[in-house]
Amino acid sequence: MIEGVAAAILTNMRRRGLLARMKKLLKPFTYQSTESVKELHCEQTRLRDIAARVGTPAYVYSGNHVIGRYREIDRALRGCPHQVCFAVKANSNLALLALLAKQGAGFDIVSGGELYRVIEAGGSPARTIFSGVGKTTEEMDYALASGVRMFNCESESELTLLDERARKAGRKALVGLRVNPHVDPRTHPYISTGLRENKFGIPIREAEKLYQRAQSLRGIKLEGLSCHIGSQITHLSAFSQALTKVVELANRLRAKGCPVRHLDAGGGVGVAYKSSDVSPSIAAYARTVLRCVRGSGLKLYVEPGRAIVAEAGVLLTRVLHIKAEGRKRFVIVDAAMNDLIRPSLYGAHHDIRPVLLAKDSAKQKQMVADVVGPVCESGDFFARDREMPSLQAGDLLSIDTAGAYSFVMSSNYNSRPRAVEVMVDGIEWRVVRKRESLRDLIRGERV
């Protein structure tokens, strides 16, 4: 009865276009109209105002969007005992980690540096998983002393070292064995991690024997399995193929008397970088994962990064010059590949929108151009042959979907100071990482 009423309300809302409008409101970056122009906002803050105060290039994040996405994933998995561990590598800004920590999020880390950030942000080591294929002795010692919840181990050599370090520290480390299920995630080869030829995990055929052998190590308590097959995955069938294999392995191990208490399903959920992209909904992803673990009694861990933060961020940049050479037109902006390397490194697409648009944008003149940065490499581009509204020097642009793997992958190449980061909350905003200065560029160097 109640379901029927809810369905009728939804149908009615859909008919009146309310659902589409509500969805738009939930988007963190939207155009809002003033008398003569349409202006891109983050939540209720004008991006133009932020750029005027802090300059460009500037990363801007919607804190409420980050919280909303985390909660959505957490809620979608409530059918099963679980912990959502945000993959810190996607965005390790302290303010962003602190927001997630306050929501009760756990963290997935891959270095001592990321652990340090989690602790500094007020995150709980007891809810932190240490993943990664090459942990050093120092990193293991630091993680053991901090009391991280668990280590995901990926080789026999690593298990042996962790066992030794844990015994030395007088501790017993909780461990999950990362298996490589040999499943094609159908993503960019650089971020595909679950195929035999990738360096990650223990080949699933060898995992059973190693798991049994490692039960005798006194410094570790090996009682779970983990599996991360790649990133920006849009075909959910890849997750079910991989997880089905891992749950079968768990059952085989249990039949042999080995304890298997948890399964870490990794991260990997893709997002839409352009409007024509088809990306899985959180609900559909959660259904897929839950279907695989249902009835297994395994506690579930997931490690989403991109799905929580990608759409929560943009990179603001200003047009420096327009240059036309024959039929080719270049829009030269003040951000570069050192600020956002995804287009150069993975051929990734990021939508680029002017922050100010004429009210009647249908009438705005269009042009086709390459959007490029000032770095001295032809690989320094954000878009090639992109159709966009006609631009001129001084215009402010938003490079979209830049909340994940963007600032974190930035560098000082060409001695360019790293960009400022800003966090928005409704009509308020604050700088959460200062723009680097020239002094910062040479910190630690000696003549």
Region of 94-102, 287-295, 298-306, 328-336 interacting with ligand LLP (CB under 6 A): 298-306
Question: In angstroms, what is the minimal distance from the CB of 424 to ligand LLP?
Answer: 22
Between residues 308 and 391, which has the closer beta carbon with respect to ligand LLP?
A: 308
Residue 87 interacting with ligand LLP (CB under 6 A) = yes
Region of 50-58, 115-123, 261-269, 432-440 interacting with ligand LLP (CB under 6 A): 261-269
How many residues lie near ligand LLP (CB under 6 A)? Answer: 21
Residue 108 interacting with ligand LLP (CB under 6 A) = yes
For residues 247 and 254, the answer to whether their CB atoms sit within 8 Å is no
Residue 201 interacting with ligand LLP (CB under 6 A) = no
Q: Catalytic site residue 153?
A: no
Q: Which two tokens stand for residue 270?
A: 């893709």
Between residues 31 and 346, which has the closer beta carbon with respect to ligand LLP?
A: 346
Residue (of 139, 77, 75, 68) closest to 109 by Cα position? 139
Q: What long-range pairs does 375-379 form, CB within 8 A, spacing at least 24?
A: 375/336, 375/337, 375/338, 375/413, 375/414, 375/416, 376/414, 377/337, 377/344, 379/337, 379/344
Between residues 151 and 429, which has the closer beta carbon with respect to ligand LLP?
A: 151
Between residues 270 and 354, which has the closer beta carbon with respect to ligand LLP?
A: 270
Q: How far apart are the first and last CA of the chain?
A: 78
Q: From the centroid of its chain, how far is CA 10?
A: 31
How many angstroms separate the Cα of 30 from the Cα of each of 19, 24, 41, 181, 240? 16, 7, 5, 41, 35
> What SS3 class is residue 436?
coil
> What SS3 class is residue 30?
strand
Residue 130 interacting with ligand LLP (CB under 6 A) = no
Region of 136-144, 213-221, 234-242, 302-310 interacting with ligand LLP (CB under 6 A): 302-310
Beta pairing, strands 313-325 & 396-399: antiparallel
Question: In angstroms, what is the minimal distance from the CB of 266 to ligand LLP?
Answer: 5
Residue 343 interacting with ligand LLP (CB under 6 A) = no
Residue 90 interacting with ligand LLP (CB under 6 A) = yes
Residue 307 interacting with ligand LLP (CB under 6 A) = yes
Angle, CA of 333, 338 and 341, to the nearest 5°:
95
How many angstroms separate the Cα of 171 from the Cα of each of 124, 200, 225, 408? 18, 26, 21, 33
Between residues 379 and 426, which has the closer beta carbon with respect to ligand LLP?
A: 379
Residue ranges binding ligand LLP (CB under 6 A): 87, 89-90, 108, 131, 191, 228, 231-232, 266-269, 303-307, 342, 346, 405
Positions marked active-site: 376
